[in-house]
Amino acid sequence: MKIDRDLVEAAISTAQERITSIVNSRVDDQAVPGLVAAIFFEGEILYFQAAGERELGGPTPDVHTAFRVASCTKSFTAASVLLLRDRGLLTLDDPITKYVPRYSQAGPLSHCSPPTLRMLLTMSAGFGTDDPWADREESITPDELESHVENGVYLVSVPGAQYEYSNLGYALLGHVIELVTNESFPTFVHQEFFVPLGLKDSSFSLASSRATSVATGYRRRGSEWLPQEFASPGSFSSIGGAFSSARDLATWASWLATALKPEAAESGPLSLASRREMQQLHVPMPFSNGAATTAETSGRLFGYGFALHVDFDKEMGKFISHSGGYPGYSAHMRWHENSGVGVVVLENARYSGAWATATNVLESVLPTLSHLSHTSDSDILNEFVRRTSSLLFTWNDKLANELFAPNVALDIPYPERISEISDLCKKVGGLQAVEEFEIETNDSPLHARWSIPGQTENLLCEIRLTPVLPLKIQAFRISVA
């Protein structure tokens, strides 16, 4: 069933009491002075809630209040790199030394080839995690950035070998953007993304902000909140320097999310193909290395795309997200591929964990939608399962030839397969008629397992379809369950 606005609004209404509690508890528990949460679908905010204070003693933030979105900025950096790639101005497999000849490496792995832009994008450059240090480097100059890497980047793994979160990598990508375009990174993002997409509340400095209000960021010291100073733009702005509102960040996230729809049309500054490329899992991410989870998400597979986290749930499918933590702020944007529903949460407290707030809000809405939006080839598999099962009751060579790819009869000739089926049916005391089969498709929509009840035991059946049309069965196995 296609998910439409009415279904999403009904799901939000069902979950509204829980969502309200999740958002309000952040202020009630003194986790943050204030926050905003927005649920979006197909470019629209369908639900908005704010709690607490924009600044101590001030009003509640609204949908246009700008917060630092911290590392959610990285998605603008990655999109900028891909835009330049699409224009033929760089390639993702260029080594960083092509643009920053002063770059050098240190440590036992210093002899390795320098990382490529692709490796920097996917957090697989071999750099160490650097959040506290990098968060205070935003305002440095391009020369100071080049001096950092000229002194030597200590490699913790072979470039390209594994994931490890690195802000320095995204600072270098921002520098590459500036070198290629001869424009500052904030100017390029403003011209190429903020303006075309109508992100009027978004900027990189208080001086240039057009937002109706800007939330003050705080850190907790004992029982008091201490305001944090704003850093001015510089060579680390590409790691987390953007200001944005719930309205703008939801617009941005929804624009990325719509690229995943099969019927999506080209729109905006970056192509559908490149937006989809951002949301592909390029590097797996082990739980021990940055995969933040809640109780609801602990069983998922995690990985990193281009400035976006990708995680897979065997029941609900694919989620795309990114978090941000910065002096005074925490941010998270997250969407569900199959339904198209997403959420943005912005909080004005340092490293407060907006990712958990956003995840819990989204997970409150999805239970009534996920089964409707599950994208699988269940109708095709149901038909294959039904017709294949009929062969076990009464073998028919003509039907077998319609169902099976040529390799099936070559692997095990039909007479041998008929004899095997007969023996197994005897072991279970004969088969019982089944009106509807429960089909398991855990690893692929072209793979199915199901059971046929016998008088004493069940018969376990399994098929795997060919990867090309016309779909045929390439593997057929039966056994006593």
Phi–psi pair at 350, nearest 5 degrees: -65, 125
Evaluate whether 5-83+178-373 and 378-480 have a shared fold: no
Phi-psi region of 34 (alpha: psi -120 to 50; beta: other; left: phi over 0): beta
Q: Does residue 373 carry a pLDDT above 80?
A: no
> In the prediction, which pLDDT does 435 show?
86
The pLDDT-based confidence of 1 (bands split at 50, 70, 90) is: low
Sequence-ordered alpha helix ranges (H) in 37-112:
74-86
Neighbours of 39 (CB within 10 A): 26
Residue 265: what residue type?
A: A
Helix (H) or strand (E) holding 312: strand 309-313
> In the prediction, which pLDDT does 271 show?
97
More confident: 405 or 374: 405
Q: Does residue 374 carry a pLDDT above 80?
A: no
> In the prediction, which pLDDT does 289 show?
47
Neighbours of 13 (CB within 10 A): 12
Q: Report the chain's terminal Cα–Cα distance, integer Å.
A: 33
Contacts of 389 (CB under 8 A, 6+ apart): 434, 437, 450, 452, 461
Contacts of 262 (CB under 8 A, 6+ apart): none
What is the Cα–Cα distance from 24 to 310, expressed in whole angstroms?
28
Q: Which of 340, 306, 332, 237 is nearest to 79 (CA)?
A: 306
Mean pLDDT of 344-350: 97
Mean pLDDT of 286-292: 58
Mean pLDDT of 42-56: 97
Domain ranges for the chain, please list them: 5-83+178-373, 378-480
Mean pLDDT of 372-395: 81
Neighbours of 234 (CB within 10 A): 22
What is the Cα–Cα distance from 156 to 244, expressed in whole angstroms?
33
Tell me the pLDDT of the chain averaged across its residues. 94
Neighbours of 373 (CB within 10 A): 19
Q: Which of 197-211, 288-302, 371-385 has the highest mean pLDDT?
A: 197-211
The 10s digit of each residue's pLDDT in 164-184 is 999 999 999 999 999 999 999
> In the prediction, which pLDDT does 370 show?
65
The 10s digit of each residue's pLDDT in 440-471 is 876 678 999 999 999 999 999 999 999 999 99
Task: List the structure tokens of 336.
Answer: 């569900």
What is the Cα–Cα distance from 293 to 249, expressed in whole angstroms?
22
Mean pLDDT of 56-62: 97
Q: Does residue 378 carry a pLDDT above 70?
A: no
Phi–psi pair at 440, nearest 5 degrees: -105, 125
Tell me the C-alpha to C-alpha distance, in Å, between residue 295 and each of 321, 359, 467.
17, 10, 36
Cα 188–Cα 240–Cα 138 angle in degrees, nearest 5: 90
What is the Cα–Cα distance from 202 to 189, expressed in whole angstroms?
10
The pLDDT-based confidence of 291 (bands split at 50, 70, 90) is: low
Mean pLDDT of 360-375: 79
- CA-based diameter of the chain, in Å? 83
More confident: 296 or 83: 83
5-83+178-373 is classed in which CATH architecture?
3-Layer(aba) Sandwich (3.40)
Mean pLDDT of 271-286: 95
Tokens 């790691």, located at residue: 239
Q: Does residue 128 carry a pLDDT above 90?
A: yes
Say what the pTM is.
0.86
Q: Note the Cα 415 to chain centre separation in Å.
A: 49
Phi–psi pair at 267, nearest 5 degrees: -160, 145
Mean pLDDT of 380-398: 94
> In the prediction, which pLDDT does 206 show?
86
> In the prediction, which pLDDT does 369 show?
85
SS3 461: strand
CA dihedral sign of residues 134, 135, 140, 142: positive
What is the Cα–Cα distance from 45 to 414, expressed in whole angstroms?
58
What is the Cα–Cα distance from 421 to 415, expressed in whole angstroms?
10
Task: State which CATH number among 1.10.4100, 2.40.128, 3.10.450, 3.30.420 fits the domain covering 378-480.
Answer: 3.10.450
The 10s digit of each residue's pLDDT in 180-210 is 999 999 999 999 999 999 999 999 998 888 8
> In the prediction, which pLDDT does 375 show?
46
The pLDDT-based confidence of 481 (bands split at 50, 70, 90) is: confident
Mean pLDDT of 59-73: 97
> In the prediction, which pLDDT does 99 show?
98
> In the prediction, which pLDDT does 250 show?
98
Contacts of 280 (CB under 8 A, 6+ apart): 305, 310
Mean pLDDT of 237-252: 98
Residue 336: what residue type?
A: H
Q: Does residue 343 carry a pLDDT above 60?
A: yes
* Contact of 265 with 81, CB cutoff 8 Å: no
Mean pLDDT of 10-38: 97
SS3 414: helix
The pLDDT-based confidence of 59 (bands split at 50, 70, 90) is: very high
**Torsion on CA atoms 320, 258, 205, 73, rounded to nearest 10:** 20
